[in-house]
Amino acid sequence: MSEHPNDLQYTKEHEWVRVEGDGTATIGITHFAQDQLGDVVYLVLPKVGSSIAKDSKMGEVESVKSISDLFVPLSGEVLEINKDAIDHPERINEDPHGTGWMIKVKFSDEAEVQLLLSADDYDKTLAS
């Protein structure tokens, strides 16, 4: 049984994406990623209104074990950042696919959405 919800899409860099019908998407890190990181203590996210490009660095997450870069799964404009997760980084460990979301974007290239992985495909990348 996967710990990764089927209604989300994923990247090989362990980000999840919830694509909405209005051309926006919510992005966070996967359960696997937070588990590998351990207790998250600090989060750096891009500024609202900034443009982000697919595969570029969008911030970083710091845990008791390490600092990891966060990568952009979809190019676009940052509409919102999760200030609650910045103030309470433990949300990322407690609920990575829910209250631990990181940013919301207005994505600019529909073709990039097609490159995202299904939950099954993401689980296969973890198994290999």
pLDDT for 7 equals 94
- Compute the mean pLDDT over every residue in the chain, rounded to the nearest whole number: 96
Predicted local confidence at residue 2, as pLDDT = 63
Across the range 95-119, mean pLDDT stands at 97
Give the number of other Cβ atoms within 10 Å of residue 3's Cβ: 13
Evaluate whether 23 touches 107 at the Cβ level (below 8 Å): yes
d(CA 56, CA 74): 10
Q: Evaluate whether residue 128 is within a structural domain.
A: no
- Average of pLDDT values for 14-20? 97
Dihedral (CA of 95, 59, 85, 64) sign = positive
Domain span at residue 36? 9-116
Q: Please state the rounded mean pLDDT for residues 39-66.
A: 97
Averaged pLDDT for residues 101-127: 96
Domain-located, residue 1: no
Residue 1: is its pLDDT beyond 50? Answer: no
CATH of the domain at 73: 2.40.50.100
Domain-located, residue 121: no
Residue 30: inside a domain, yes or no?
yes
% of the chain surpassing 90 pLDDT: 96
Report how many domains make up the chain: 1
Instruction: Show the DSSP H helices in 1-128 as ranges.
Output: 31-37, 83-87, 90-94, 110-114, 119-127
